[in-house]
Structure 1
Amino acid sequence: MALLDVRGLCARHGAVPVLDDVSFHVERGEIVALLGGNGAGKTTVARAVSGLHRPSSGEVMFDGRDITRCDPRRIIQGGLSHVPDGRRVFPSLTVEENLTLGGYLDGRRKNVVAERREGVYRTFPRLAERRAQRAGSLSGGEQQMLVIGRGLMSDPSLLVLDEPSAGLAPASIAALAEDIAAIRAAGTAVLLIEQYLQLALRLADRLVVLQEGHVILSGSTAAVAADPRIGRMYFGDGNPLK
């Protein structure tokens, strides 16, 4: 049984169709990258699986349960954590305070929150060094570490990362790749929503490619990278990834 199983997902923004019959799955402990350009529907998928956007039809199964119409709070409690795009830190709060807010569902169990926060610091040692620093003064790469760390504070079995590389310098993207690999190595599956093809190729076990709300490619990373359609999407004629 897949950890996340999205079946025939359709969604609209008002009267405008955004997703049409989108299906894919994420197994336990793997990284699946959902690729596509602006307007492909990637963020709508992320919001639909985390309960922030109600699909018009289709199913979202998580850990054997139908969460299609569940409240986001229940979805988080069930083990799915969504890190939205845009590095949304609380700029006037410290790194530690931002992380503590990520454990709000366990806020009455302060020992649990503290243990998870120390786990985040082990994954992101730079955050430990800056735990008393205001989040708004961090670099872009450090802020991305912080929002991912905050997402880990609910101890998820699946982490949904929406465009984590957006706006980062190449050195920060390289560090981000190492961090995501470490998260998977610790047992957390990752749904990686991305435009940056090279990051997906480096990390993902499988790729799902969206175009105008439709899945046009899906399969192992090697198989999708070898398909000429991915080359045309990203590079024009031909496929330099072969």
Structure 2
Amino acid sequence: MSRHSLTTVGFDADDTLWQNEQYYRLTEEQFRALLTDYAEGEHVSERLLEAEKRNLSYYGFGIKGFTLSMIETALEITEGKVPSSVISEILKIGRELLSHPVETMPHALETLEALAGKYYLVLITKGDLFDQERKLAQSGLGTLFDNVEIVSDKTATTYRRIFSMNGEEPERAMMVGNSLKSDVVPAIATGAWGVFVPHALTWILEHVEKPSEAPRFREIANLGELPALIESLG
């Protein structure tokens, strides 16, 4: 492959460009503490995950759906007897999750600056529209992207549409992210490159097996290794 045949590089946002899951984990700990009189912490977490799975098709990904799932879980665990004060606290910690500071990942800025102008850079993220827009604005990275796509889910169809928007084919694109399920596997299915950047904390619903045998699968330890990886594909 000629290095010039790669024209588009897509980036995931949460836990790829900035920290995200750690704030969900802290909020879940607060939620468990609110229900300590009704159930053990592990049981609360299990019921919450079940609610999140059920609700994805209704609320999608993001903080609002997570907050509603916490309320639903509290109602289920207490058999509808949860005090209104606990519901108020759940809403409070949900709002706090929507206002946490943005902490960019190591090498995010320098890597984007190195690639900007050489490739068509597109941010591809899923979740709540307002929250993702807020985090992008506060990150200071927004001006480095040629396009921003906030989508309801990440599938091969999603990537095929986005990678074809600037008149190119998916085979000339690359997707970079921390989720094998959302960022890497569906991108590779379109013919694009899929670059996995592991994060210490990844939501359990994003776990799938590595597509190690796929010719266009690559893994790097951090974003700082991406420019050299792209160069090596030439």
TM-score higher than 0.5 here? no
Larger radius of gyration: 2
* TM, length-normalised to structure 2: 0.29
TM-score relative to the length of structure 1: 0.28
Larger strand proportion, structure 1 or 2? 1
